[in-house]
Amino acid sequence: MKHTIRLQQGCFAALLFISLALTACRTVPPAEMPEEPHYIMHTQDEKNTAYTLHIAYPEFTGMPELNASIRATFADAASEFKAQAQKDQGALADAGLSGSEFYVTTEKIYDGESYISVLISIYCYAGGAHGSTIYSTVTWNNTDNRQETICGISGLTLQELSAYCRDSLTQSLGGGSLSAERLRWIQDGTEPVESNFSAFTADGGTVTIYFQQYQVAPYSEGIPEVTLPVVKNNRS
């Protein structure tokens, strides 16, 4: 049991390396999808007695800063995972478990003229009942060549986002049947701070915000989502 707890903590620590830079709020107008995507998919596969690793991510032509931001969503976590998996190999074997697992998959790509939005899923398993998944995102302002913020892309303030998401999650996760503890969970996970809304994608007309496992609900609820329309006028 001690091995399992330590392994899960090590895996979760690896995922905590994931971070996204936040910049000033600015609204980007919705854009039409170009006829041809200007990216290629890169893959990396490693398998040995300690771990299995698979990474798949897009690389955009002529956009080194964007590509660096995409790689930053998983690179440190992957390095930390591999180092920890080597250390934990013996403990996993003693517990009758196979090697650790680390999977990076690209779940969604919006390749627009004004901005690009990418959703990356990072799954890590290092023993125990189940693994952990984190959604990491990059939404890129093509005009200014920088990463967008949730305020800039949605046109809403943090207070407005908090109120909208709190109401939406309360309904989607149970409505009036939720206990006081569950309602408090939602309230804490939607406080008007940027870190609570750091995982988001946009598709030209809507913005989808992703709430990580345990952020607003128990593990069984997965990664809850809230989708809202883009507000055209800049309120920041």
CA distances from 97 to 7, 50, 83 (A): 12, 11, 18
pTM of the model: 0.82
Lowest-confidence pick of 55-59, 61-65, 173-177: 173-177
DSSP 230: P
pLDDT on residue 15: 54
The per-residue pLDDT for 136 is 98
Of 232, 220, 234, 227, nearest to 108 by C-alpha is 227
Is the CB of residue 74 less than 8 Å from the CB of residue 55? yes
The two tokens of residue 156 are 């809403």
Distance CA 21, CA 192 (A): 17
pLDDT tens by residue, 82-136: 999 999 988 888 877 788 999 999 999 999 999 999 999 999 998 878 899 999 9
pLDDT(51) > 70:
yes
Per-residue exposure over 163-176, b if at least 16 CB sit within 10 Å of its own CB, e if not: ebbbebbbeebeee
pLDDT band at 24 (very low <50, low <70, confident <90, very high): very low
Task: Tell me the two tokens of residue 4.
Answer: 């399992």
Contact 51, 176 (CB under 8 A): no
Six-digit token pair at 235?
């309120």
pLDDT at 186 over 50: yes
d(CA 7, CA 94) in angstroms, rounded, equals: 13
Report the run of H or E that residue 84 belongs to, with start and end: helix 75-94
Task: Report pLDDT digits (tens) over 122-152.
Answer: 999 988 788 999 999 999 999 999 999 999 9
Q: How many CB atoms lie within 10 A of CB 134?
A: 22
Q: Which residue has the higher pLDDT, 69 or 14?
A: 69
Mapped onto helix, strand or coil, the DSSP state of residue 36 is coil
